[in-house]
């Protein structure tokens, strides 16, 4: 059970760091990348971050690949 506790603690720290980064980026004025879909009319706002999702997927994939490479699996 102690391994599960350690993993949950690590996951919590990662979530806090990601949350702080997203919050900080919003405070600095980051509104998305060029290519994100934004549609606004009087009473409707639609936003789908297509390019942001692609970049995030690439970064997470490279990070997971690096983690597996460094752990020797």
Q: Residue 33: which of 54, 57, 63 has the closest Cα?
A: 54
Q: Is the pTM of this model over 0.95?
A: no
Rounded Cα–Cα distance for residues 26 and 2 (Å) = 36
pLDDT at 73: 64
E strands in 1-73:
37-40, 45-48
CB-based burial label for 46 (10 Å; 0-12, 13-18, 19+): exposed
Residue 4 binned pLDDT confidence (cut-offs 50, 70, 90): confident
pLDDT 10s digits, 9-52 = 999 998 999 899 888 988 888 777 788 888 899 999 998 888 88
């Amino acid at each position: 059970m102690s391994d599960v506790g350690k993993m949950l603690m690590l996951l919590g720290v990662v979530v806090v760091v990601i949350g702080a980064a997203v919050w900080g980026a919003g405070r600095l004025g980051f509104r998305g990348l060029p290519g994100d879909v934004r549609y606004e009319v009087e009473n409707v706002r639609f936003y789908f971050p297509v390019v942001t999702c692609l970049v995030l997927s690439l970064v997470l994939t490279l990070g997971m690949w690096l983690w597996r490479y460094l752990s020797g699996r």
